[in-house]
């Protein structure tokens, strides 16, 4: 779905001569260039969220979310090397792209795998609650295959235990849970603009939140916070977002370019029409959608045991049909060496053994 609109947007940026409007210091340039600011405004308006912050990938967005909620950097938590049971913990999905489970390790936090739902493939609330300990700092939920997580129940569990919910909505751009957009259901949401997603700029991401403090911390962390905070203190800044204890934040350069932002703005305009194609295709497959929700159908997923439909599709050699999605993450070498039980999420393992996947970016 890349066309003349994206080409014109790229040319507009090139002719402006400004490929990035960011600087790692405090001032108007702290917020990026005109394309970045316009994209963030348009994204926030579309998804009905207070803050939208562009970044260079959804993986960076997850890192920013974990840093913003207060997970400590690796250098502050050497216990990770001894796998101390008193480490900070983050509950994660075993059935997802690896980054949603590996990002906590960057902070010396241990990922704790909860099992998934048999019908919708998202984290199972009952399994989540059974995994919570006094060390649990957050839950990273994944809206897998475009299906929103069970927000009412999981958010209530998180509130009861005083922990944060980070929503990985990389596959669910435009999906809704009871009328509210996926990505805006938790404390922080993360979208992907990777080349494989519903809309894309090659590589990119958006982080959203309604929390003012979290939003400003994310902006600091993606843009050399230690330098920016120094500028703010030297200038005697009266910025309402300023918090003196944020001087300890260690930032990175996770900024999006003006070129990527310009492409993303044009792609966002096409999201509704792209979703219609995905949702129209879904009628050909035996897919269950959570009640009162819509799915973005990043992939069409169902069980092999749904014999009548599955065998007909398989025998007709429908394009883009395959078995299996991803090895349960705790069985990967990275997590095996950390001593994870290799059979700790039975529903996940059964689903991976029996799942069928299809995917289409154009109408069938």
CB 300 within 8 A of CB 358: yes
Q: Is residue 110 part of a domain?
A: yes
The CATH number for 86's domain is 3.40.640.10
Q: Name the CA radius of gyration of the chain, rounded.
A: 21
Q: Is the dihedral of CA 104, 106, 109, 114 positive or negative?
A: positive
Kindly state whether residue 136 falls inside one of the protein's structural domains: yes
What confidence score (pLDDT) does residue 9 get?
97
Q: What is the pLDDT along the chain (364 residues), one digit of tens a residue?
A: 789 999 999 999 999 999 999 999 888 899 999 999 999 999 999 999 999 999 999 999 999 999 999 987 654 444 444 545 567 999 999 999 999 999 999 998 999 999 999 999 999 999 999 999 999 999 999 999 999 999 999 999 999 999 999 999 999 999 999 999 999 999 999 999 999 999 999 999 999 999 999 999 999 999 999 888 888 877 765 555 566 667 778 899 999 999 999 999 999 999 999 999 999 999 888 899 999 999 999 999 988 776 566 666 666 656 678 889 999 999 999 999 988 989 999 999 999 999 989 887 776 6
For residue 143, give its domain range: 4-270
Task: Quote the CA–CA distance of 45 and 52 in Å, as a whole number.
Answer: 9
Q: Which residues are catalytic?
A: 197
Report the predicted TM-score, pTM, of the whole model to 2 decimal places: 0.93
Domain count, the chain: 1
Is residue 253 situated within a structural domain? Answer: yes
Which residues, other chains included, contact 277 with Cβ-Cβ below 8 Å and sequence gap of 6+? 360, 361, 362, 363
The answer to whether position 338 is within a domain reads no
The three-state secondary structure class of 349 is helix
By C-alpha distance, which of 218, 216, 244 is closest to 230? 244
């Amino acid at each position: 779905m890349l066309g003349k609109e994206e080409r014109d947007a790229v040319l507009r940026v090139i002719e402006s001569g400004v490929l990035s409007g960011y600087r790692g210091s405090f001032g108007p340039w702290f917020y990026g260039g005109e394309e970045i600011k316009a994209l963030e405004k348009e994204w926030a308006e579309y998804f009905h969220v207070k803050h939208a912050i562009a970044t260079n990938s959804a993986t960076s967005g997850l890192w920013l979310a974990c840093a913003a909620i207060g997970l400590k950097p690796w250098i502050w938590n050497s216990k990770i090397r001894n796998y101390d049971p008193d480490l900070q913990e983050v509950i994660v999905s075993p059935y997802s792209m690896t980054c949603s489970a590996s990002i906590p390790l960057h902070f010396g936090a241990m990922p704790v795998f909860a099992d998934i739902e048999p019908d919708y493939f998202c984290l199972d609330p009952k399994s989540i609650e059974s995994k919570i300990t006094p060390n649990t700092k957050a839950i990273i939920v994944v809206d897998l295959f475009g299906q929103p997580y069970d927000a009412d129940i999981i958010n209530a569990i998180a509130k009861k235990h005083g922990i944060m919910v980070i929503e990985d909505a990389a596959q669910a751009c435009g999906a809704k849970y009871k009328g509210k957009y996926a990505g805006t259901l938790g404390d922080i949401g993360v979208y992907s603009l990777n080349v494989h997603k519903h809309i894309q700029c090659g590589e990119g991401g958006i982080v959203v939140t309604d929390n003012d403090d979290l939003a400003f911390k994310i902006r600091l962390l993606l843009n050399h916070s230690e330098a920016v905070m120094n500028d703010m203190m030297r200038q005697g800044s009266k910025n309402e977002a300023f918090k003196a204890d944020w001087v300890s934040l260690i930032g990175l350069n996770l900024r999006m370019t003006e070129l990527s932002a310009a492409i993303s703005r044009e792609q966002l305009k096409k999201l509704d029409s792209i979703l219609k194609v995905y949702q129209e295709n879904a009628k050909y497959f035996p897919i269950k959608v959570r009640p009162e929700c819509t799915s973005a159908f990043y992939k069409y997923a169902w069980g092999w045991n749904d014999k009548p439909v599955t065998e007909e599709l398989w025998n007709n050699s429908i394009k883009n049909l395959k078995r299996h999605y991803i090895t349960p993450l705790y069985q990967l070498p990275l997590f095996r060496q950390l001593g994870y039980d290799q059979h700790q999420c039975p529903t996940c393992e059964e689903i991976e053994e029996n799942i069928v996947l299809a995917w289409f970016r154009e109408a069938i």
